[in-house]
A and B are shown apart, each in its own frame.
Chain A
């Protein structure tokens, strides 16, 4: 029973209908497509009909159509909306905060937009229309997150979906930080959660990194079975449609269940031996991750940020990142990726001291 409504302003009906069709396949979303209207009219519509929708989707090209009435930039509109949410009680127009999505037909839209950092903070999702079509579950999770934050008092543990005992095992700085912003607008919290917690390796890790740390290939027959065994470590906080696991909770699980060294110091083959010993039903169903070209160490702890190959930190080349918080970990690339500069748009550059090390690998004449 569709219960979540996104109102979608787009001036190309054909493109909008494609997005609508695809998203409504989730059977929970309703996409209410509207043509663009003059500035003031959109704001007043949004204010007047707050109860009719849960989120907003905006087409970035609203102001570039020659016959459009829109005489503003989409960013300015979003800016205004956010402002109207956060203003003090007297002038506040919106009674609740809501997700805002920015999309476009242009193929390389996201990377073009990245350069404009002010507006990236206004939107929860910035992507192409094709990409948006695949984000149905995320759009739903967004609304659920906003709803929760709009209605209830919340603290860090509520947001992160952790019991107090589990919360003691994860980064305390993260807990403190979340508690310090818990009373801000839902958008601030969700934005922070997305950018600094879910999207950054560290406190939380994704499935690829999990697979590297367990030494087991995701394609193994027994993978989903194995995941169930560590379900306690899975992230179930806001936006948990994104699959993540708590790094420290995995370590804890290993320590509790296996008479072995720290997971990090074991080679992949050793890890599998332990797993198969304990979970006999997984024997033969766990495929080991292989070393990629140029690597020598099987103590996989991360994946190459460019190619996705399992990588140990000894073999990896650290990339140049600004890590804002202590719970965030540095990313690495493997030798081949560093040498060939594959996907360099993603990782940009190695950290300076790694350049000399890389130079050695070019010595062949």
Chain B
């Protein structure tokens, strides 16, 4: 304002263009700045619509549920260039968010994008919404900035609070690629919105207290709408594996594990108890939905990077994990704290499950950090609540339902962990094979030797170009040797890894050996005392009990007998030809008590007079038979309708011993047939963390892997073949003589 002897600055309206089109370089920056403004306004949801934007002149609509603006804040904020609002208020009011938007770029972003801007905004306390229309073309050069006026009016509100920006007459075209690029710019703000459709559909009041921020990008062309990008779609699609768990209304538990990368798509029933032979329902727990996305960091080769998923986003996920990984709990649509908060390990994943992972020698990480998961409980049907929150609202009361929930989730994660590990091993093995095949063409040292031979020949023949070839050879030699060294190192590492796994098992074996030796004396004493009591006890009831005790003891002895034989054989290092008949007869004698108590019918058929194998280690046969036997027993129990039958057939043909191990259990589904030999693959009932399972190897998924290893080491093979009539599974082991 000029007065008598003062001059003030005036502003040409053309400054809008300077600060808009010329300052805001890229359109993606422009849109992302507007979204940041919504973030700063404490919005939890932003919907960005690109309407008819395949050509110039389309419309972008940015709709948020932030705090909105009234006339005052519009005047002093949006309409005031270089507003000081962000200086005075660097933290958002409601969620205490650190303001993301850069100072004052927002408004000019809109000018950068399109020729016309319509703002419709409303604060909660306003009764009507405020609508402002700005025609950027009005801001031409050679007129005063403050002389351009923009119409505003009050209109009927369409929502309680928030701001809608309508940017019309876009200066550029926007395709899916451009839209996704914008998404990436704002992705570090995004936190996953876990609420599934299920709770969303239930119209349960959601508090806005949850501090999440999700953005959804839509594209509309000729009336048809399509979601281009939203948090779950973008980020979680890239998870290595998706784990889901359900407890249905009948209180039966299931879990499913899916991984495109590892070719995994399994459904595993989850039992309430730890009994490995049957599935049981939960007592209180029902209507539970669980979903978790599993990521492995630092293994880039498990991800496919492309325009849809960049390495930047990959790093972003890891960063996100430090804040929002873990398993969250939602009950009737509300988040229940502190479950899944940073540092909270309510399911003992970092503790117990990790220990189990280490003990079993699994090669994948599996901590809270690797999981983005949520549990949904809907328990208010019929007005009765299965769960209860504590008085201070910090968690759920640990009633039976909660304990069952804990058990269920632990078992789901454990089962998924093993399947994923097993599938990963398969993938690794497959890749190794492929690599080996590839390398065979340039097989290591032979390749180098051939090259040298060639050059030597040339020297011998005094070839004119021999000098050239010598140079070529010397040039390539360091690299060739280097490559081979790297190969050897990798092979060694793989062997060391395998050794590590086997060492864990060997350690266990040694412990068992010691233990068995120590308890040997007790066998004799127990037997003796039982005998004495039997002779002396006169009363019928006590007599009956002694007989039961004796029966149990005999069953127990079948295990100690097995271990003793196994251990004593292990001490002898030499290999001998094995008489299959004797080996199997001895084995059947060992398990006699065990099989009798399970009413198993075991048949054997020896089809030749001489069934002698090549020299082998005797205890390894015991291992093989024992593993096959325990697997069959489990399969039979899962198929509990019939009396369990096992058939062992041995034949000799073409200088090979062929052993068939058949059972009438529940059989092996087609899609599992080539996975059962992979390490860690198990269909055994997952055991809860408190469960007693330190004893045998059942459930570690290593039985068949070890059997295969043994058989292969003697140049034999193990495959699945068609079973005889009345049997469902047939393992066929072939060994040379």
Contact = CB atoms under 8 A, between A and B. Distances in A.
B520 A18 contact: no
Contacts of B561: 107
Contact of B528 (A129, A342, A344): A129
Interface string A148-177: 000000000000000000000000000000
A106 B529 CA distance: 17
Given A25-B536, A340-B581, A341-B581, A15 B521 contact: yes
Interface stretch (B72-80, B352-360, B469-477, B603-611): B603-611
A344 B524 contact: no
**Does more than half of chain B's interface fall in helix, strand or loop, or is it mixed?**
helix
A19 B532 CA distance: 9
Contacts of A128: 524
B545 interface: no
B531 A15 contact: no
Interface residues of A, number: 27
Given A358-B609, A362-B609, A341 B582 contact: yes
A22 interface: yes
Contacts of A364: 607
A250 B618 CA distance: 47
A14 interface: yes
Contact of B608 (A12, A134, A355, A362): A362
B609 A105 contact: no
Contacts of B156: none
Nearest to B521: A105
Contacts of A340: 581, 585, 604, 606
B398 interface: no
A344 B581 contact: yes
Most buried by A among B535, B604, B608: B535
**Does more than half of chain A's interface fall in helix, strand or loop, or is it mixed?**
helix
A134 B535 CA distance: 11
B524 A105 contact: yes
Nearest to B586: A345
A130 interface: yes
A133 interface: yes
A359 interface: yes
B582 A18 contact: no
A18 B535 CA distance: 13
B564 interface: yes
B180 to A, nearest CB: 68
Interface string B525-562: 10111011001100000000000000000000000010
Interface string A75-97: 00000000000000000000000
A107 B523 contact: yes
A18 B532 contact: yes
A269 B523 CA distance: 45
Interface string A106-124: 1100000000000000000
A238 B604 CA distance: 44
Contacts of B521: 12, 15, 105
A344 B611 CA distance: 14
Contacts of A48: none
Given A341-B585, A344-B582, A344-B585, A133 B523 contact: no
B581 A130 contact: no
Contacts of B527: 130
B579 interface: yes
Interface string A308-343: 000000000000000000000000000000011111
A339 B581 CA distance: 9
Nearest to A365: B607
B591 to A, nearest CB: 15
Interface in B587-636: 604, 606-609
A25 B604 contact: no
Size category of the B interface is: 20 to 34
Contacts of B607: 362, 364
A207 interface: no
A129 B525 CA distance: 9
A14 B531 contact: no
Interface in A10-49: 12, 14-15, 18-19, 21-22, 25
A133 B535 CA distance: 11
A21 B525 contact: no
Contact of B579 (A14, A106, A341, A362): A341
Contacts of A15: 521, 524-525, 528
Interface in B484-533: 520-521, 523-525, 527-529, 531-532
A339 B606 contact: yes
A97 B527 CA distance: 32
Contacts of B604: 340
B585 A18 contact: no
A28 to B, nearest CB: 14
Nearest to A343: B585
Given A340-B581, A364-B607, A22 B531 contact: yes
A340 B611 CA distance: 10
B581 A134 contact: no
A234 B525 CA distance: 37
A25 B535 contact: yes
Contacts of A341: 579, 581-582, 585, 606
Contacts of A129: 524, 528
B521 to A, nearest CB: 6
A35 B487 CA distance: 66
Contacts of B525: 14-15, 18
Interface in A346-365: 355, 358-359, 362, 364
A22 B535 contact: yes
Nearest to B606: A340
Nearest to B525: A18
Nearest to B557: A107
B265 to A, nearest CB: 43
Contacts of B585: 340-344
Interface in B62-98: none
A133 B528 CA distance: 7
Contacts of A106: 520
B532 A21 contact: yes
A358 B606 CA distance: 13
Interface of A: 12, 14-15, 18-19, 21-22, 25, 105-107, 128-130, 133-134, 339-344, 355, 358-359, 362, 364
23 contacts: A15-B521, A15-B524, A15-B525, A15-B528, A18-B524, A18-B528, A21-B528, A22-B528, A22-B532, A22-B535, A105-B520, A105-B521, A107-B524, A107-B564, A129-B524, A130-B528, A133-B531, A133-B532, A339-B606, A340-B606, A343-B585, A344-B582, A359-B609
3 closest A-B pairs (Cβ-Cβ)? A18-B528, A341-B581, A105-B524
